[in-house]
Chains A and B, each alone.
Chain A
Amino acid sequence: MREGYCKPMSYKVRLNSTLEGLKPSGIRRFFDIACEMDDVISLSIGEPDFSTPWHIREEGIKSLEKGKTWYSPNSGLMKLRECIADYTKKHKGISYDPISEILVTVGGSEAIDLGLRALVCPGDEVLIPEPSFVCYSPLTEMVGGIPVPIVTKAEKAFRLTPQALKAAITHKTRLLIMPFPNNPTGAVMRREHLEEIADIIRETGIFVLSDEIYGELTYGQQPHISFASIEGMQERTMLISGFSKAFAMTGWRLGYACGPKDLMKQVVKLHQYALMCAPTTAQYAAIEALKNGDPDVESMRAEYDVRRRYIVDRLCGMGLTCFEPEGAFYVFPSVAVTGLSSEEFSQRLLKEKSVAVVPGTAFGDSGEGFIRISYCYSLKHITEAMNRLEEFVKENRRA
């Protein structure tokens, strides 16, 4: 061992202070507690309970058998990008050039990060409708942007309203996040609502990052409408989607971003330096998913729909008033009937009935008074959880 002075390592000085200032994910925290208890029934997981359909897995396996284990091109396999272009044209009615306007990413979440890093300069304001998924605000802070939450309300079906958007815009506003279909509320924006938003955006220099990872999972008569398909919006929208939710492919880590080529040219650089390329095996599987996976999506969607209807009915029956979610796989009921805060409700429910849900506050301050329930579970599992939840609500009704 070498002798002499060794300066002690101070992480306080060495670490990025913005990073240190970020809160850990509120979803993670509850899950970790639940994992340490026995006999917990969880309703907290936000990923499909289905395995990836076999024919899709098989294409991944085949690519491994053939030894296709190299890097893919930075932007993704050309064949996959072409499939994404076809799929987006067919399902969303938008045309993108597979060579210059589509990037295959490591999950939709990488695309969100890239989009924020490419579009936001220090001091820029980023409008984030809330409650919404946990990553937008921390990733904005990491690039020096200022997250500006826009509260969406249950009585407005958790939609972004033109009034709320207008009120939030300042001369510093650079980007609007459009997180619909929404995690955790299950809200969707119909064409008429998107048009109202587009009317405002059109008159500004604001860019839009539309996170449509749940786009395939909507339950009304009307299919999901992509923000980029609204007139004039494609040139100012980065459309993000992926394979995780629709095709039950979370563990493959594969998503994609589509956008105007001037933007994508810059985004590809970031992706290239940070990630090189998305996993090649996953990309081969994804080609099969886009080509032949529609019937699988439809059957999973039908199953989610059954569960969704059942949960909403049970929640309303026990007095947890509940906006009827029309997308994603979450229900976001109000716990007002108990008079408990989201956090108290979730903690006591876990302690007293061993049921894990996520407090609404994990998705922004505006989630106070709500909890997120996932229905990525079998009906049997959901039924037992609902029975326990019902007991809990009965015992904790505000006098």
Chain B
Amino acid sequence: MDKLLKLLDENARLTNSQLAVMLGITEQEAEDKISELERSGVIRGYKSVIDWERTDRAYVTALIELRVSPKRDLGFEEIAETIMRFDEVESVYLMSGGYDLSVIVNGQTFKDVAMFVAKRLSTLESVLSTATHFVLRRYKDSGVIFLGEEKDERGVL
């Protein structure tokens, strides 16, 4: 994997000058490379990994399995595009296996999310069925461990 992408994937807040030092390139080169990656759509955006449990924001997440009937010529694209427009929807994936689309939905309460599924998703014409699974606890998210601190147990010589 591209070393620059690997570093940004771990910590998108590294400055151009830090990246330059770590990679042995100039700051200008780092800036140019990043611009190019953004322009070409390799880098789609930057986010932080937040443990909402530790804030006062009410926050629930659900993974919804959707079975849909694909449209001729358009396949799953049309329905995926409709679904991804909702603000509540965080991610939409086309899946292999027992169902077609995996939709990750965020809301303030379980009821919010359930109502969103019932009113917005189930009612869509090509949706055949939905199954909603609520996230009860996040142990690890986006590669970051949420469950306690890891203790350094290494010895010393």
Query: Are A49 and B22 touching (Cβ within 8 A)?
Result: no
Using a CB–CB cutoff of 8 Å, the interface residues on chain B facing chain A are: 3, 7, 10-11, 18, 21-24, 152, 154-157
A45 touches B154 (CB 8 A): yes
Query: Are the CB atoms of A310 and B18 closer together than 8 Å?
Result: yes
B154 touches A379 (CB 8 A): no
| Interface membership of A171, Cβ < 8 A | no
Binding site for B on A (CB under 8 A): 25, 27-28, 31, 42, 44-47, 49, 134, 250, 302, 306-307, 309-310, 313, 376, 379-380
Q: Are A42 and B152 in contact (CB under 8 A)?
A: yes
A27-B156, A306-B3 as given contacts; A379 in contact with B10, CB under 8 Å = yes
Report the tally of A-B residue pairs with Cβ distances under 8 A.
38
Q: A47, A306, A313: which contacts B154 (Cβ < 8 A)?
A: A47
Take A42-B152, A306-B3, A310-B21 as given contacts and tell me if A379 and B157 are in contact as well, using a CB distance cutoff of 8 Å: no
Residues on B with beta carbons closer than 8 Å to the beta carbon of A27:
156-157
| Contact indicator A309/B24 (Cβ below 8 Å) | yes
Q: How far is the CB of A366 from chain B (nearest CB, A)?
A: 19
* 21 contacting pairs across A/B (C-beta < 8 A): A27-B156, A44-B156, A45-B152, A45-B154, A45-B156, A46-B156, A46-B157, A47-B154, A47-B157, A134-B157, A302-B3, A306-B22, A306-B23, A307-B22, A309-B21, A309-B22, A309-B23, A310-B21, A376-B154, A379-B11, A380-B11
The chain B residue sitting closest to A46, CB to CB, is B157
Q: In the complex, which of the residues A42, A46, A310 contacts B22, with contact meaning CB atoms closer than 8 Å?
A: A310
Q: What is the bound-complex CA distance between A307 and B24, given in angstroms? A: 11
Chain B's closest residue to A317 (CB) is B21
Closest to A219 in B: B24
Measured CB to CB, the nearest residue on chain A to B21 is A313
**Pairs of residues from A and B, 5 with the lowest C-beta to C-beta distance, nearest first:** A31-B156, A313-B21, A306-B22, A310-B22, A45-B154
| Contact partners of A31 in chain B: CB under 8 A | 156
Residue of B nearest to A356 (CB): B156
Q: Select the residue from A25, A307, A310 with max chain B CB neighbours within 10 A.
A: A310
